[in-house]
């Protein structure tokens, strides 16, 4: 029984720790993007959420990816995966399938791995904001997108408090049960031999 209790306690603490870690990561994402107006950065890499399936199966919908920002003078090659401005409000991450040079001007033809054909417009170097570095975490992007919504922000502040209260209630209940068990064991020890309780 004691071993089982230790296992349950270990699992409970592990799940709680993981939950807190996820909360810290989401709070970091939300706070960083709200303060700077830019995607959060970790050690020089920007973390971006993938909201379409155009690069599946390599990059799944709902993933977060790490991209490295580059200057306009950077040259890219066929098979490089770049993040670029499709318009003022939309970033796209696609693969370069062709490098085109015309009159000292370099342009790129891009395509999503899951798309049937290439993108209709050629990509100008000045619209490229970053290059994909091969790091992706599936599904976490869904949580991050939700955490940036009004409901998500509410839950980010509400859930830690609820978790702390729940954990406190569990700890107090466990202590009360253990205390009652000790009292019962002590009363059995103190009772005269042969006397039934």
Kindly list the structural domains of the chain, giving each domain's residue range(s) and its CATH number in brackets, ordered by start. Answer: 39-140 (2.10.109.10)
Nearest to 149 by CA among 48, 29, 20, 35: 29
Percent of the chain with pLDDT over 90: 23
Least confident of 48-57, 74-83, 123-132, 148-157: 148-157
Q: What are the tokens at 107? A: 């342009």
Q: Which of 23-27, 31-35, 68-72, 185-189 has the highest average model confidence (pLDDT)? A: 185-189
Checking if the pLDDT of 27 tops 80, the result is no
The whole-number average pLDDT for the span 14-23 is 72
The whole-number average pLDDT for the span 59-77 is 81
Determine the Cα–Cα distance for residues 159 and 155; give it in Å rounded to an integer.
5
Checking if the pLDDT of 194 tops 60, the result is no
- pLDDT given for residue 66 in this prediction: 86
Determine the Cα–Cα distance for residues 30 and 156; give it in Å rounded to an integer.
10
Determine the Cα–Cα distance for residues 3 and 9; give it in Å rounded to an integer.
10
- pLDDT given for residue 103 in this prediction: 83
Percent of the chain with pLDDT over 70: 71
Average pLDDT of the chain, as a whole number: 79
The whole-number average pLDDT for the span 174-191 is 78
Bridge partner residues of 106 (DSSP): 101
- pLDDT given for residue 169 in this prediction: 81
The whole-number average pLDDT for the span 165-181 is 80
Checking if the pLDDT of 73 tops 90, the result is no
- pLDDT given for residue 10 in this prediction: 75
Checking if the pLDDT of 158 tops 80, the result is no
- For the entire predicted model, the pTM comes to 0.59
Checking if the pLDDT of 123 tops 70, the result is yes
Checking if the pLDDT of 196 tops 60, the result is no
Q: What is the pLDDT of residues 136-145, one digit of tens each?
A: 888 777 766 6
**Count of residues for the chain?**
197
- pLDDT given for residue 98 in this prediction: 95
């Amino acid at each position: 029984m004691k071993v089982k209790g230790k296992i349950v306690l270990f699992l409970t603490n592990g799940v709680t720790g993981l939950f807190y870690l996820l909360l810290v990561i989401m709070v970091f994402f939300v706070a960083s993007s709200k303060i700077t107006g830019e995607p959060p950065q970790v050690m020089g890499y920007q973390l971006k959420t993938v909201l379409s399936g155009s690069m599946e199966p390599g990059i799944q919908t709902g993933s977060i990816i790490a991209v490295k920002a580059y200057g306009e003078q950077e040259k890219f090659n066929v098979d490089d995966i770049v993040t670029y401005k499709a318009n003022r409000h939309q970033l796209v991450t696609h693969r370069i399938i062709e490098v085109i040079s015309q009159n000292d001007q370099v342009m790129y033809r891009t395509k999503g791995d899951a798309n049937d054909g290439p993108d209709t417009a050629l990509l100008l170097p000045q619209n490229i904001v970053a290059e994909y570095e091969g790091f992706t975490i599936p599904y976490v992007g869904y949580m991050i997108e939700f955490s940036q919504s009004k409901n998500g922000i509410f839950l980010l502040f509400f859930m830690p408090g609820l978790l702390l209260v729940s954990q406190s209630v569990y700890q107090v209940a466990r202590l009360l049960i253990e205390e009652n068990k000790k009292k019962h064991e002590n009363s059995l020890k103190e009772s005269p031999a042969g006397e039934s309780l």
